């Protein structure tokens, strides 16, 4: 039963967001790491993200029942009742909020709660109605590094804004790759993602546009002195390869699902390297 509740929190999402939160924390720390604060902020944010994922599962149980990859989730099969899931999600959210309130600062808590609100109250219902919900979801997903940054600085300065914009730009190609790869599932569930509403070609063009925006935001992090030249060189090389991989997707004879899987996996690599380089720059400027 513990495993079932654990899976209800979507641990993959928690771990991915934890990585970016740590990167934001390290960048803001400038070599002076408060490990106790880092642990507290990480636990608090992870609990809030877990809460959002549980509430998302509750709201999406009818959709999940229509999709092959989600039809065995606990709320669909009845392994966990809606009432128990709601109580579980509430406990997680309150625990996370109290942790951030007593260990960080009010701004950090507010930023985390805004992310929770956008994900649960805006993105979750909107994804049934409009293809633009993907951008709303990207806003929620870009909050964790800002939480880490604010836990240290207690301010929303240019560094926090750039981290936010970089993560928004990264998430769009990441999500659109999923939308192409899982297009049949989304069609079956009647979710109007871009690949369903406008087609795969238009989705591929959008992927290229957002990768270019991502690259521009990466450069600004260096221009404004938050990261060094080694960071810039590494990230430009990786991001340009990501863009070339996106361009290859325009070939007429390409297997769209296989290409989308490569794009998805490489986007995770991009995020991992970005988080690593930003973290290193928070310790020693390179």
Confidence of residue 16 (pLDDT cuts 50, 70, 90): very high
pLDDT digits (tens, 9 = 90+) for 39-51: 999 999 999 999 9
Mean pLDDT of 237-241: 98
Range of the domain at 117: 2-283
Mean pLDDT of 213-228: 96
Measured distance between the N- and C-terminal CA atoms of the chain, rounded to whole angstroms: 47
Domain count, the chain: 1
Mean pLDDT of 180-195: 92
Q: Which of 192, 206, 50, 186 is nearest to 116 (CA)?
A: 50
**The predicted structure's pLDDT at residue 2:** 83
**The predicted structure's pLDDT at residue 284:** 80
Is residue 191 within 8 Å of residue 128, measured between CB atoms? Answer: yes
Tokens of 219: 């450069």
Residue 227: which CATH number? 1.10.357.140
Does residue 82 carry a pLDDT above 80? yes
DSSP 121: I
Mean pLDDT of 166-171: 98
Mean pLDDT of 161-166: 98
pLDDT digits (tens, 9 = 90+) for 100-153: 999 999 999 999 999 999 999 999 999 999 999 999 999 999 999 999 999 999
Is residue 234 within 8 Å of residue 269, measured between CB atoms? Answer: no
Which residues lie closer than 8 Å to 21 by C-beta, 6 or more apart? 41, 42, 45, 144, 145, 147, 148
Does residue 1 carry a pLDDT above 80? no
Confidence of residue 70 (pLDDT cuts 50, 70, 90): confident
Distance of alpha carbon 264 from alpha carbon 283, whole angstroms? 29
Distance of alpha carbon 286 from alpha carbon 281, whole angstroms? 6
Q: What is the pTM of this model?
A: 0.93
């Amino acid at each position: 039963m513990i495993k079932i509740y654990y899976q209800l929190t979507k641990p993959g999402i928690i771990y991915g967001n934890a990585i970016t939160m740590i990167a934001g924390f390290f960048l803001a720390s400038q070599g002076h790491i408060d490990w106790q604060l880092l642990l507290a902020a990480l636990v608090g944010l992870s609990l809030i993200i877990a809460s959002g994922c549980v509430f998302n599962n509750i709201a999406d149980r009818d959709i999940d029942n229509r999709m092959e990859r989600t039809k065995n989730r606990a709320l669909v099969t009845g392994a966990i009742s809606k009432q128990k899931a709601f109580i579980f999600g509430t406990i997680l959210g309150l625990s996370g909020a109290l942790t951030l309130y007593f260990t960080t600062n009010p701004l950090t808590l507010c930023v985390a709660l805004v992310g929770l609100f956008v994900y649960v109250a805006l993105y979750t219902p909107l994804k049934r109605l409009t293809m633009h919900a993907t951008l709303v979801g990207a806003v929620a997903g870009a909050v964790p590094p800002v939480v880490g940054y604010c836990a240290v600085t207690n301010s929303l300065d240019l560094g926090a804004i750039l981290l936010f914009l970089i993560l928004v730009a990264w998430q769009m190609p990441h999500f659109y790759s999923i939308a192409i790869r899982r297009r049949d599932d989304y069609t079956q569930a009647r979710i109007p993602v871009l690949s369903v509403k406008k087609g795969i070609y238009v989705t591929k063009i959008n992927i290229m546009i957002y990768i270019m925006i991502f690259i521009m935001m990466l450069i600004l992090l260096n221009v404004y002195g938050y990261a060094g030249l080694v960071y810039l060189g590494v990230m430009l090389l990786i991001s340009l390869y990501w863009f070339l991989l996106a361009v290859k997707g325009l070939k007429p004879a390409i297997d769209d699902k296989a290409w989308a899987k490569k794009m998805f996996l490489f986007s995770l690599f991009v995020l991992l390297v970005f988080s690593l380089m930003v973290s290193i720059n928070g310790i020693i400027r390179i």
